[in-house]
Amino acid sequence: MKKSKEENGGLSFKEKIRIVKRSIEFIESCDRGSIFRTAVKYFPEVIRTFAGIYLSSLVIDGIAAARPVSELLLRAAVVCGITLLAGITDQIISVHKNAHKFTYDTMSLKRLWEKVLTMDYDKAESPDTKHKYQNAENYLTGYGIGSMPGFLSYAAKTLFGAVMGIVLIFPIVFTERTVTTGFMGFIQSPWGFVSVLLLAAGLISITSLVIVPTLVRYDHDALADEGVHEAQRVGGSVLSRALYNYRSGKEIRIYGEQELMHEMLTKANSVFINKEEELLRKIYPVLALDGAVVLMLNVLIYGFAFLRAASGMMTPGDIVAFVMYFAQIRDGIMDFTGSISQMLVRSNFCKEVFDFLDIPDDNYKGTIPTEKRDDNEYEFEFRHVYFKYPGTEELILKDINLKWRIGEKMALVGRNGSGKSTLIKLLCRLYDPTEGVITLNGIDIKKYSIKEYMELFSVVFQDSALFSFSIAENVAADTEYDRETVEECVRRAGFSDRLDEMSDGIDTVLYKDFSEKGVEISGGEAQKLCLARAVYKGAPFIVLDEPTAALDPVSEYDIYTKFNSIVGTRTAIYISHRLSSCRFCDDITVLDKGQIVERGSHDVLVLKGGVYAKLWGAQAEYYKDTAGELFV
């Protein structure tokens, strides 16, 4: 039974045309004038080619007719002059075009980055989205959208060349006949030329409609192969880790991972080699057929020209011009159809880019502005909230009912995997509840403008990221900032000693990704800067989501204590599976297996003898051993 195009994973002709059109519009939106610059590049080449053919035929006829040397030199000089002028024009256009390549590459990538930065967080975190992003990035250039201007312009150039060839060949073909009867009379007649033209068109059609599309399809199938995609991902991942992330150099050397990476790259390369060999085995017969068609075309054209020349209907120059013009017509038609075929086939790759850019934002963004209260009287409430991550069936949070008021110091504790971080993601609207509602001052948070709503929060995550920018830019999260406030926040976060060692102060660049002067900092120091960033934002609601999990208990306690002293009247939520860091909170909520099982102060919960007391008892001895007088 014949499969539908959907089952075959293909696109209809109409869909391919739509994607090609959209690809051209995308290119122009990234670099206006790109198509024109690419197209113009080819036309000096066409003019140079035809001028060379025409003037060369005149020179040959001049030699045959024993024209004066001065006349021949003049014709040769004209040929050389046109060739030189076209060459210079081509170089100027090429330089201009190449200068704009960086514009397209940068702006097209910017479109992908903007999509990543603005899409719903649950989509950004999805493995499927990451896979789509990788494909989109691969096909912005090369075999995807970036190839479209070249094929479109080349199609225009070859079509123009074919038309020029037809126009220039007619005066040679339709000249006065020397024989009017018999076979030679037929060869010299317009019908003879039409017959040759039809035979040539038939042979060209075999190449254009069968051979070229077949070769293009084989090429596409090889590039679209899932094994090739997987090898590209593996190879890209290894190279990214080994070459582009210098921080991984320590592990590579200590654990001797060079051989592992070599094996992974070799395995990925073997996939490419095997696919290339498979492709060659398939295309050899097609190339043989193509060679046979070209041979028959040459026999037909040269034979026709020889017969006409033998009857005195063509001069030596005419023979050269006729053969070369016809070659331009032949190549123009084949290359035109080849370019169009390539564009249609590569629309499949271009679709990968648009599949990523078209990922919908399903979360309601809201329109109500958040209330700007000087008294910070905000109250958040979870009402029967359930949540499971997209694409899964396991409930992470179950029937959460909880109220928090601004100005309180609260803790959210529980074992790893109990749902603490997920609850905060819901509070910050990084995710929406599967069931239930979260309110701010009695209004569903979905109804608030998401941008304004997020301004209420400063969050320091366990995996909070700093970028290879200056300390000030990292803390302010902007290129414009109040220098005094930035430095004050950095010092209040406990970074003073290290800052005093830095000659550039808050202008010191972190890490060495972009600058040899970049400074490496420890994990604890990085978290202090993240705390400074949270303070600088000035949001009324501050969350510390296990930002010190990788630190020892003493360092963790030191950071929490400092942070507690600078929060002031703002609300702070401390999330941790290590209970010592949260014991100074007035209100502690205990999560277990996605449910709230206890709530109260540290002393109350210890006396209660429930889940919290058991966790505290299990951890207390460890803290005493490592932290000495931490709890005295």
Residue 627 has pLDDT above 60, yes or no: no
Q: Would you give the end-to-end CA distance of the chain in angstroms?
A: 79
Helix (H) or strand (E) holding 51: helix 34-64
Task: Point out the least confidently predicted range of 112-116, 337-341, 384-388.
Answer: 337-341
328's CB contacts (< 8 A; 6+ apart) are: 49, 50, 53, 161, 162, 164, 165
Average pLDDT over residues 274-297: 83
Whether the Cβ atoms of residue 236 and residue 131 lie closer than 8 Å to each other: no
Q: What is the pLDDT of residue 382?
A: 94
Q: What is the pLDDT of residue 584?
A: 72
Confidence of residue 21 (pLDDT cuts 50, 70, 90): very high
Cα separation, 507 vs 178, whole angstroms? 89
Can you give the length of the chain in residues? 632
Q: What is the pLDDT of residue 248?
A: 67
49's CB contacts (< 8 A; 6+ apart) are: 161, 328
Neighbours of 377 (CB within 10 A): 12
Q: Kindly list the strands in the beta sheet with 541-545, ordered across the sheet, starting from the edge strand earlier in the chain.
A: 457-461, 541-545, 571-576, 409-413, 587-592, 595-600
Residue 174 has pLDDT above 80, yes or no: no
Location of structure tokens 């992003």: 133
Residue 405 pairs in a beta bridge with 379
228-244 pLDDT, tens digit per residue, is 767 776 776 666 666 55
Residue 261 burial (10 A CB sphere; 0-12, 13-18, 19+)? middle
Tokens for 195, please give them.
């017959």
Q: What is the pLDDT of residue 369?
A: 81
Across the chain, what does the average pLDDT equal? Answer: 80
Cα separation, 329 vs 331, whole angstroms? 6
Q: What is the pLDDT of residue 397?
A: 94
Confidence of residue 506 (pLDDT cuts 50, 70, 90): very high
Cα separation, 515 vs 8, whole angstroms? 49
315-328 pLDDT, tens digit per residue, is 788 888 888 888 88
Cα separation, 617 vs 631, whole angstroms? 13
Q: Kindly list the strands in the beta sheet with 379-387, ordered across the sheet, starting from the edge strand earlier in the chain.
A: 397-405, 379-387, 435-440, 443-444
Helix (H) or strand (E) holding 554: helix 553-567
Confidence of residue 395 (pLDDT cuts 50, 70, 90): very high
For each of the domains in the chain, give its residue range(s) and CATH number, in order of start. 366-456+539-627 (3.40.50.300), 466-538 (3.40.50.300)
Tokens for 116, please give them.
């990543």
Average pLDDT over residues 128-150: 83
How far does CA 79 lie from the centroid of its chain? 46
Q: What is the pLDDT of residue 385?
A: 95
Half-sphere exposure of 595 (CA within 13 A, CB side): 5
Q: What is the pLDDT of residue 3?
A: 40
Q: What is the pLDDT of residue 435?
A: 94
- Would the pTM count as exceeding 0.75? no
Confidence of residue 272 (pLDDT cuts 50, 70, 90): confident
Residue 257 has pLDDT above 90, yes or no: no
Strand 435-440 to 379-387 pairing? antiparallel
**Three-state helix/strand/coil letters over 575-600:** EECCHHHHCCCCEEEEEECCEEEEEE
Neighbours of 562 (CB within 10 A): 16
How far does CA 87 lie from the centroid of its chain? 35
Measuring CA to CA, which residue among 624, 432, 457, 615 is closest to residue 537? Answer: 457
Tokens for 537, please give them.
């934002």
Phi, psi angle pair for 256, to nearest 5°: 60, 45
Whether the Cβ atoms of residue 574 and residue 411 lie closer than 8 Å to each other: yes
Task: Point out the least confidently predicted range of 58-72, 231-245, 406-420.
Answer: 231-245
Measuring CA to CA, which residue among 301, 162, 144, 312 is closest to residue 220? Answer: 144
Cα separation, 612 vs 623, whole angstroms? 16
Measuring CA to CA, which residue among 473, 463, 476, 460 is closest to residue 509? Answer: 473
Phi, psi angle pair for 116, to nearest 5°: -60, -45
Confidence of residue 346 (pLDDT cuts 50, 70, 90): confident
Average pLDDT over residues 286-297: 85
Whether the Cβ atoms of residue 334 and residue 210 lie closer than 8 Å to each other: no
Residue 380 has pLDDT above 70, yes or no: yes
430-479 pLDDT, tens digit per residue, is 899 999 999 988 899 999 988 888 888 888 887 777 888 899 999 998 88
Phi, psi angle pair for 402, to nearest 5°: -160, 140
72-110 pLDDT, tens digit per residue, is 677 777 777 777 777 777 667 666 666 667 777 888 888
Is the pLDDT higher at 414 or at 187?
414
Neighbours of 64 (CB within 10 A): 11
Q: What is the pLDDT of residue 354?
A: 93
Strand 541-545 to 587-592 pairing? unpaired
Percent of the chain with pLDDT over 90: 12
Task: Point out the least confidently predicted range of 132-136, 222-226, 452-456, 529-533.
Answer: 222-226
Whether the Cβ atoms of residue 187 and residue 308 lie closer than 8 Å to each other: yes
How far does CA 573 lie from the centroid of its chain? 37
Q: Three-state SS for 311?
A: coil
Q: What is the pLDDT of residue 375?
A: 55
Q: What is the pLDDT of residue 626?
A: 45
Cα separation, 172 vs 188, whole angstroms? 11
Tokens for 613, please give them.
């007391």
115's CB contacts (< 8 A; 6+ apart) are: 356, 357, 359
Whether the Cβ atoms of residue 301 and residue 326 lie closer than 8 Å to each other: yes
Is the pLDDT higher at 403 or at 514?
403
Residue 400 pairs in a beta bridge with 385
DSSP 67: -
Q: What is the pLDDT of residue 109?
A: 86
Q: What is the pLDDT of residue 160?
A: 85
